[in-house]
């Protein structure tokens, strides 16, 4: 079981899986953005927290999002320090 203390821990878990975190407004979020990532079809959520996660099927993959992990300007700045403009870890 993965225990997260902050949204930044969630971002770290996503980047450690070599996935790209992004702002997403999921079902019933009414325009509020949260942390999300895309998991390819056939992949699993190993290394990602399952608690609080919602999964939307996109056909060839899944958007996994955590509605309680608000995407703020601070989260964006943190992601920018971890990833280069192409979305790869620095």
pLDDT digit string, tens, across residues 12-60: 999 999 999 999 997 788 989 999 999 998 888 888 999 899 999 888 8
Q: Given this model, what pLDDT does residue 2 score?
A: 56
Q: Given this model, what pLDDT does residue 45 score?
A: 86
In the chain, domain spans: 7-72
DSSP string, 29-65: -TT--EEEEEEETT---TTS--TTEEEEE-SSEEEEE
Q: Given this model, what pLDDT does residue 4 score?
A: 64
Q: Given this model, what pLDDT does residue 9 score?
A: 94
């Amino acid at each position: 079981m993965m225990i997260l203390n902050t949204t930044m821990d969630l971002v770290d878990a996503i980047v450690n899986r070599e996935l790209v975190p992004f702002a997403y407004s999921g079902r019933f979020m009414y325009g509020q953005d949260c942390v999300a990532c895309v998991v390819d079809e056939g992949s699993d959520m190993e290394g990602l927290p399952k608690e609080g996660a919602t999964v939307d099927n996109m056909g060839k993959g899944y958007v996994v999002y955590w509605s309680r992990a608000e995407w703020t300007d601070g989260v964006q700045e943190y992601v920018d320090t971890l990833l280069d403009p192409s979305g790869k870890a620095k």
